[in-house]
């Protein structure tokens, strides 16, 4: 993609159907001049990986409100590696514990946002990840 505008895919994995936070983050990123694609709920890691590659995403954001993310996010990261599609993955949600955040970071997640994350923290992290990806 020849644009300097960050491109972000937002999705929820597995059976998690809580989407208010994902929609709010999508709007926040759009208002911060980013192009977003919201896949909604009930996605598989394969669907998210394929869409991110097709969309030419700079970052993938996964909304987490059930503990399925502990297995599905590492699967997503593995699929991105298999596809040779280098795309940072961030996760956010109200149920993420500090121990789970550490575990996810150790498994390749690039940033974790719990319920206390501010808009500035999220937007700045996404922008930093985009810059890092594009400069790699």
pLDDT, tens digit only, all 136 positions of the chain = 457 899 999 999 988 788 999 999 999 999 999 999 999 999 999 999 999 999 999 999 999 888 899 999 999 999 999 999 999 999 998 889 999 999 999 999 999 999 899 999 999 999 999 999 999 8
* Domain boundaries, position 117: 7-135
pLDDT in tens, 50-89: 999 999 999 999 998 888 999 999 999 999 999 999 999 9
Is residue 2 situated within a structural domain? no
Total Cβ atoms within 10 A of residue 86: 9
User: CATH number, domain at 52?
Assistant: 3.40.50.280
Strands, E, within 88-136: which ranges? Answer: 89-92, 111-113
Model confidence, pTM? 0.95
Is residue 55 situated within a structural domain? yes
Angle, in degrees to the nearest 10, between helices 20-31 and 119-135? 70
> Closest Cα to residue 85, out of 95, 93, 73, 77?
77
Total domain count, the chain: 1
């Amino acid at each position: 993609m020849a644009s300097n505008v960050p491109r972000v895919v937002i999705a929820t994995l597995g059976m998690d159907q809580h989407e208010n936070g994902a929609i709010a983050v999508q709007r926040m990123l759009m208002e911060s001049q980013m192009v977003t694609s919201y896949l909604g709920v009930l996605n598989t890691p394969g669907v998210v990986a394929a869409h991110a590659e097709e969309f030419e995403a700079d970052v993938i954001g996964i909304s987490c409100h059930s503990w399925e993310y502990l297995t599905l996010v590492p699967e997503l990261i593995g699929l991105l590696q298999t596809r040779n599609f280098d795309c940072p993955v961030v996760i956010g949600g109200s149920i993420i514990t500090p121990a789970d955040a550490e575990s996810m970071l150790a498994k390749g997640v690039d940033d974790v946002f719990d319920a206390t994350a501010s808009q500035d923290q999220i937007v700045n992290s996404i922008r930093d990840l985009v810059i890092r990806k594009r400069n790699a």
